[in-house]
Structure 1
Amino acid sequence: MIGTFLCTFSLWLFTSLNVCAAYTIKPVTPPIQHSEGPHWIENQQMVYYVDTFRPTIYRWEYSTGKVSSHRLDHHDSIGIIIPIKDTEDEFVVGADQDIYRLKWPKEDSNEKIEFVNLAKVQPTKSEKQFNDGKADCHGRIWAGVLTRNEDLTVQPHGGCLYMVTVNGTIEKEEKISNTSISNGLAWTKDSKKFYFIDSTERTVTGYDYDQTSGEIENKTTVFNLADHPDLKGIPDGMIIDDEDNLWVALFGGTSVVHLNPSTGKIIKVITIPATYVTSACFGGPELDVLYVTTSRLHLNETEQLKEPLAGSVFAIEDLGVKGVRGHAAIFNLS
Structure 2
Amino acid sequence: MEKCCLLVVTLLIAYCTQGALSFVIRQLTEPVEFAEGVFWDAEKSALFYVDADTGTVYRRNWGAKKSTSTKIPKQSIYSVIPIKGSRDEFIVTAYHDVVKLTWDGRQDTGTVKDLEKVGSFGSVYELNDAKADSAGRVWVGTYQLESSGRYGFKQGGGGLFSLTITNNDKVIIEEKISNLTFPNGVTWSNDDKYFYYTDSTTGTIERRDFDVATGTLGESKIAFDLAEYPEYHGIPNGITVNEDGDLDVAIYNASVVVQVDKDTGKITAKAHYVVPQLTSVAWGGPRHDNFFVGSMKLSEDEEYVEKYPIAGTVFIVSDTNKTGRPSMKVVVR
Q: TM-score over 0.5 for the alignment? A: yes
Residue number in structure 2 paired with 1:170: 171
Residue number in structure 1 paired with 2:114: 117
- Secondary structure at 1:226's aligned position in 2? helix
Residue number in structure 2 paired with 1:147: 144
TM-score, reference length from structure 2: 0.92
Residue number in structure 2 paired with 1:36: 36
1:127 touches 1:149 (CA, 8 Å); kept in 2?
no
Q: Which residue identity lines up with residue 265 of structure 1 in the other structure?
A: K
- Secondary structure at 1:303's aligned position in 2? helix
Alignment of structure 1 residues 44-63 onto 2, 5 Å: 44-63=44-63
Alignment of structure 1 residues 94-133 onto 2, 5 Å: 94-105=93-104, 107=106, 112-123=109-120, 125-133=122-130
Report the CA distance between 1:106 and its aligned residue.
5.3
Report the CA distance between 1:220 and its aligned residue.
0.2
Report the CA distance between 1:126 and its aligned residue.
4.7
1:145-189 superposed Cα distances (whole Å, 9 cap, x missing partner): 111346312222211111111235421010011111111111111
Residue number in structure 1 paired with 2:241: 240
Residue number in structure 2 paired with 1:223: 224
Q: Please list every run of 5 or more consecutive structure 1 residues that lacks an aligned counterpart in the other structure.
A: none
Report the CA distance between 1:94 and its aligned residue.
1.0
Q: Please list every run of 5 or more consecutive structure 2 residues that lacks an aligned counterpart in the other structure.
A: 1-8
Of residues 131, 134, 139 in structure 2, which corresponds to 1:134? 131
- The whole-number CA distance in structure 2 between the counterparts of 1:298 and 1:222 is 34
Residue number in structure 1 paired with 2:5: none
2:68 touches 2:106 (CA, 8 Å); kept in 1?
no
Name the CA shift for 1:269/1:31 in 2 (closer, same or farther; >3 Å).
same
Q: CA RMSD in A?
A: 1.8
Q: Which residue identity lines up with residue 65 of structure 2 in the other structure?
A: G
- The whole-number CA distance in structure 1 between the counterparts of 2:37 and 2:320 is 21
Are residue 303 (structure 1) and residue 301 (structure 2) matched? no
Report the CA distance between 1:325 and its aligned residue.
2.1
- The whole-number CA distance in structure 1 between the counterparts of 2:78 and 2:105 is 23
Name the CA shift for 1:283/1:106 in 2 (closer, same or farther; >3 Å).
closer
1:180-214 superposed Cα distances (whole Å, 9 cap, x missing partner): 11111111111111111110010111011011111
Report the CA distance between 1:65 and its aligned residue.
2.6
Report the CA distance between 1:107 and its aligned residue.
3.0
Alignment size in residue pairs: 321
TM-score, reference length from structure 1: 0.91
Residue number in structure 2 paired with 1:262: 263
List structure 1 segments (4+ residues) > 3 angstroms apart after TM superposition.
Answer: 123-127
- Secondary structure at 1:78's aligned position in 2? coil
Q: Which residue identity lines up with residue 219 of structure 2 in the other structure?
A: N
1:261-300 superposed Cα distances (whole Å, 9 cap, x missing partner): 2111212111111110011111110111111000012772
2:38 touches 2:49 (CA, 8 Å); kept in 1?
yes
